[in-house]
Structure 1
Amino acid sequence: MCFGGSPNDKGYDTTVNYLDISQSDSTNVSNLENKWDIQVVPKVETDIINEPRYDSQYTALPDGARMLMQGGSNELLGKLQNKTVIYDTRNEQWSSLSDYTEPRNGGARQIFSGTAVYVPFIDAVAFYGGKEARVPSNFTYRKLDGTTFSNSYTYNASLPNQNQPYFESYVGFYYLTIYRIISNTWEEYSATPYNIMPNQLTATYHEPTDTIYYLGGRTYDPIVTHDNWDNITLTGTQIPTPRVLHSATLLTGTANTILIYGGSPSESDDPVQDYCYTLDIGTLVWTAHSLSAISPNIGPRFYHNAVLVNNTALFILFGKTTGKHDTTNNVSVLDVRNVSAIQFSDHFPLEGEESTAMTTENNAKESDSVGPSSGAIAGIIVGAIAAVVALVIAILLYRRKRRAAKEQHEALDVDWDQIEHQFHEVPPTKRESMASPTSTLVATTATQVPNAVQSDDANNKNIMSLFHENPISQTGVVKPDGGKEDKSQLP
């Protein structure tokens, strides 16, 4: 499922769209773009979905059924009224959550172009980086200790087709900030900011090491103070070129591999040509992958999404194929079962795999063919016991009769109790039931080339990040929809 964005850079999509990837046994990937449908949302929730947004911080929650979207940019005169929202795909319902607020910096803040990632060990969503929309001119930000940043970080922007100037800033989540789902509360998790003001980067959580890897992106402040953040040196025969608006996905089938896809040097540039890499988290080594694109619309792109399905297929969805207004609804699928031989697939399910529909049908057939039902098995066991008992009784009666006849000719001492005790009932062996195999569909929102951050916490856990420094060039800045002319300039 997807929500938001700016199709063809003309207006903004406020519908929930969904794609059923199990529609047929063998679907040609090139046809999937025509199989999207629209989810009807109750009218009582139109106040949430009618607020256009793009470049929001978003992530899928661990139940696999809810999408959380925080902040985002828009081209309305005012800020978003509902800055943090959740869409529950089970009951097709929107809900609004508490705003992220900083009383020392003007209250509720609308941040965009940052990152969001779910962190299981604290059961919270971690936010970092980004920019802020709708701020006062030359606004001065304050830290937790009351001190101020030396730079205001604000810049002038303008709404399209309007002579209404407004200001944005390069200050997003400058502390590692978390949203606790159960209590619906926010807190600044790290005690020290990482003063490089990153944006358009990605975040990928690695559970075995409780580490968040922040990759790529753009930084505003060339003066870096590290404090509790760690910079990690990544190596490889080929290193990814600097990029923004890419995706990064933890390949859960291998547990220690992050796949970077796409990206562009900036919002207005064409996508990078070295668009596919894997990072081995254990060795911190990059591997470049040269893929054979099946069609012109498959290959380099940015502003896209990546969703991992069944730990084997990585769907690359939407995005832009050039630095102009060219957006695409093309669907690409990467076969990631072998990280040493990643390749495009022109069909889904992948070769050798079954569709969800086929798996369900086969499970039903297999369940029918595994043997008798539990009731039939019970009947067979009871019948077998009865037959054994009857046989023992018949043998005893036969022997008694023969012995009685023999006693007429000779006297014998016979211990009938001993004879009877030679025959005893053997308990039947319990037949265990057989469970039918199941098929699980797993979808993970894509996230993340840069340095790292550790933060102190009550659990003595570490949260880290990676950054590949790429100071913002002193040229005009383009709004994140990527398709309009320059609307803002650096201060």
Structure 2
Amino acid sequence: MLACVLLSEQIYCYGGGMYVAGRNVSTTLSDHYRLDISKNLHIPRTWSDWEVVNPGNTSFQLEPNMLFSTTVLNNNSYLIDGGLGYNNGTSLVNRTTVYHADTNVWESLPMNDTHQISMGSAVLLNKDIVWFWGGSDLSNDIPFVYPREFNVATKRWSSHINIGSVDNRSAWIQHTGSLSGNNRYIYYMGGVTVTNTTVINEDHPEEPIFNVTSTVNPMNRLLMLDTVQQNWTWMITNGPTPSPRKFHTVVQLPDSNNLLLYGGVATNGSLPVDDFCYILDTARARWTPVSLPVSRQAGPRYGHSAVLYSNRTLFIMFGVDELGYVRDDFFMMDLNTMTWSDYFVSMNSSSSNPHSSHSWNGRLSKGAITGIIMAIFALFGILATLLIFYLLHKKTQQEKEELRQSLGLEGGKAMDSEAHVSSQDHLTAPFKIYTASSPTIVNGSRTHHDLDEPLIEPVSGTLVKRSTISFDNGQSSSSRPSSLKPSSRTALTSSDDQPTSSDNTKSSLLPHPLRLRLP
């Protein structure tokens, strides 16, 4: 319903329609946009790269339009003819126009006649001749039967009444016309055949009654125009046949006899067809369905545009999707692999790696910058956490070493495997300190000590006197306490060799808080 064309590494899109709630008809648009594809692009992030193109000749009136016929003339210009225009009964001021991209100038061409044709097709036969056929006259909805020809060089119109149509009464609308690889045949497919039957008005013979009927065009019966012999023939295709459709696109694949069909809406419905992609081999008259990946794809749509680039890339642009929503996005198909891609590599780009840049316009988005800043802060937080853990671990090791030294332990030497006896030469015999991480043997019997509680027992079989465990608060006990808290500062003494002091100033052997497990 809109037109998108490729001119000198630029994609131009013009016109189209927009649904407005509460209205039964679409609002036509006069927007004209341009996308520079001379550089690499990340397709989902190209909206900032589109530019509004206002006419360079300010006196020209760029009018709203949709359902017009269009074709590229050369690398710098494209032609538009007819269409719905204002879609309110008002005729277009400039019925046939050419846009010249090199000068950004719109040119209004001479009118052929009083007919404003919509939903027809236009095909460039050679560099000078544009062939128009089909469509409906906006003034009376009567099908336009006869092919029209426009000479770009002389800017003159001519009608081919001698060719007419198949029965000289019918014409196709909402179809496509595509030139074959040898530039001789035009293949018309899809859409609807509209037939005009004239009935004599008995009351007013000078005012005939036009009876217009329509039938669906099947996709296994294509109409061919031989532009050399100037006659019509039918092509009956084989293979899996696409469902009937209208408002689809057909693109001639380079260096082959193949045409690629994409999208379309069911002729008896309002939603896109499910079987939306096929290839037609015109040499064998055979259809082949194309299975495309389901992840991130254009999917079923109609009223879109298809733009071919450099014989290997096809852009599917805008249109209406399977939910009936007008889409403002576009997708890129790799014709070599028949897959979708988010990354476009321009022929003019020096970089062959599409993933070498996060953004192909050379600018990072605000979201990307925010993400980078957050990642940097997160990295600093992780490093700070690791540093704190390292310092705490180092402090713990230092305190353990100091505790070993105060108890006379040899750093890093393993204890006795059964009783875990640590040599304590500084303690008055016959006492030793055990760590009760395993059963210990006292007086020839196995004794289970509470975990991590130091205990002084006599080495010999005779108990001289139990040690006294003193605490910082001055209390003492002749038996082991039920637990020793890590925050408590303790003193271990023997009542025979050292007097017990109520203030614990002389009997303390541990300068640091006692940990839960002695090393």
Structure 1 residue 86 displacement after superposition = 0.5
User: C-alpha distance in 1, partners of 2:303/2:47?
Assistant: 17
Q: Give the aligned partner of residue 118 of structure 1.
A: 124
- Correspondences of 1:60-459 after superposition (within 5 Å): 60-61=72-73, 63-74=74-85, 75-101=87-113, 108-120=114-126, 123-135=128-140, 169-172=141-144, 174-189=145-160, 191-194=162-165, 195-208=169-182, 210-221=184-195, 228-236=231-239, 238-252=240-254, 254-266=255-267, 269-295=270-296, 298-322=298-322, 324=324, 326-337=325-336, 341-349=337-345, 355-358=347-350
- Residues 374-430 of structure 1, C-alpha deviation per residue, up to 9 Å, x if partnerless? xxxxxxxxxxxxxxxxxxxxxxxxxxxxxxxxxxxxxxxxxxxxxxxxxxxxxxxxx
Mark the CA change 1:43 to 1:119 in structure 2 (over 3 Å): closer, same or farther: closer
The answer to whether the 8 Å contact 1:204/1:250 transfers is yes
1:308 aligned partner, one-letter code: L
- Per the normalisation by structure 2, the TM-score is 0.55
Structure 1 residue 259 displacement after superposition = 0.3
- Per the normalisation by structure 1, the TM-score is 0.58
The answer to whether the 8 Å contact 2:174/2:191 transfers is yes
Q: Give the aligned partner of residue 31 of structure 1.
A: 45
User: C-alpha distance in 1, partners of 2:351/2:129?
Assistant: 34
Q: Give the aligned partner of residue 54 of structure 2.
A: 40
The answer to whether the 8 Å contact 2:15/2:65 transfers is yes
* Secondary structure of the structure 2 residue equivalent to 1:30: helix
The answer to whether the 8 Å contact 2:148/2:157 transfers is yes
The answer to whether the 8 Å contact 1:294/1:346 transfers is no
- Residues 224-272 of structure 1, C-alpha deviation per residue, up to 9 Å, x if partnerless? 9999420111111x111100000000011x3211000000114951100
* Secondary structure of the structure 1 residue equivalent to 2:58: helix
User: C-alpha distance in 2, partners of 1:119/1:216?
Assistant: 21
User: C-alpha distance in 2, partners of 1:204/1:342?
Assistant: 21
* Secondary structure of the structure 2 residue equivalent to 1:260: strand
- Residues 123-181 of structure 1, C-alpha deviation per residue, up to 9 Å, x if partnerless? 3100001111123xxxxxxxxxxxxxxxxxxxxxxxxxxxxxxxxx1412x11211111
Mark the CA change 1:8 to 1:43 in structure 2 (over 3 Å): closer, same or farther: farther
1:21 aligns with 2:13: no
Structure 1 residue 193 displacement after superposition = 2.0
1:17 aligned partner, one-letter code: Y
User: C-alpha distance in 2, partners of 1:90/1:128?
Assistant: 29
Question: Quick check: which has more Rg, 1 or 2?
Answer: 2
The answer to whether the 8 Å contact 2:244/2:267 transfers is no
Mark the CA change 1:72 to 1:263 in structure 2 (over 3 Å): closer, same or farther: same
- Residues 299-337 of structure 1, C-alpha deviation per residue, up to 9 Å, x if partnerless? 10000000000000000011110474x211211111112
Mark the CA change 1:342 to 1:2 in structure 2 (over 3 Å): closer, same or farther: same
* Secondary structure of the structure 1 residue equivalent to 2:301: coil
Mark the CA change 1:267 to 1:356 in structure 2 (over 3 Å): closer, same or farther: farther
Structure 1 residue 189 displacement after superposition = 2.7
User: C-alpha distance in 1, partners of 2:194/2:133?
Assistant: 15
- Residues 333-382 of structure 1, C-alpha deviation per residue, up to 9 Å, x if partnerless? 11112xxx522222212xxxx5423279xxxxxxxxxxxxxxxxxxxxxx
- Correspondences of 1:450-489 after superposition (within 5 Å): none
1:192 aligned partner, one-letter code: I
The answer to whether the 8 Å contact 1:312/1:336 transfers is yes
The answer to whether the 8 Å contact 1:247/1:304 transfers is yes
User: C-alpha distance in 2, partners of 1:228/1:118?
Assistant: 18
The answer to whether the 8 Å contact 2:35/2:50 transfers is yes
- RCO higher in 1 or 2 (8 Å CA, sep ≥ 6)? 1
The answer to whether the 8 Å contact 1:269/1:323 transfers is no
Structure 1 residue 120 displacement after superposition = 1.1
User: C-alpha distance in 2, partners of 1:258/1:55?
Assistant: 22
Q: Cα RMSD (Å) of the superposition?
A: 2.5
The answer to whether the 8 Å contact 1:17/1:38 transfers is yes
User: C-alpha distance in 2, partners of 1:60/1:228?
Assistant: 25
User: C-alpha distance in 2, partners of 1:111/1:178?
Assistant: 14
Number of residue equivalences = 303
In structure 2, the gaps of 5 or more residues are: 1-11, 21-25, 196-213, 218-222, 225-229, 353-519
In structure 1, the gaps of 5 or more residues are: 102-107, 136-168, 361-491
Q: Give the aligned partner of residue 468 of structure 2.
A: none
The answer to whether the 8 Å contact 1:206/1:250 transfers is yes
User: C-alpha distance in 1, partners of 2:55/2:66?
Assistant: 19
* Secondary structure of the structure 1 residue equivalent to 2:80: strand
State the identity %.
27
User: C-alpha distance in 1, partners of 2:330/2:323?
Assistant: 19
Q: Which has the higher helix share?
A: 1
User: C-alpha distance in 1, partners of 2:250/2:334?
Assistant: 15
Mark the CA change 1:277 to 1:31 in structure 2 (over 3 Å): closer, same or farther: same
- Residues 158-215 of structure 1, C-alpha deviation per residue, up to 9 Å, x if partnerless? xxxxxxxxxxx1412x112111111111111351322332101001112415111111
1:5 aligns with 2:16: yes
User: C-alpha distance in 2, partners of 1:290/1:327?
Assistant: 24
1:329 aligned partner, one-letter code: D
Mark the CA change 1:316 to 1:115 in structure 2 (over 3 Å): closer, same or farther: same
User: C-alpha distance in 2, partners of 1:116/1:267?
Assistant: 25
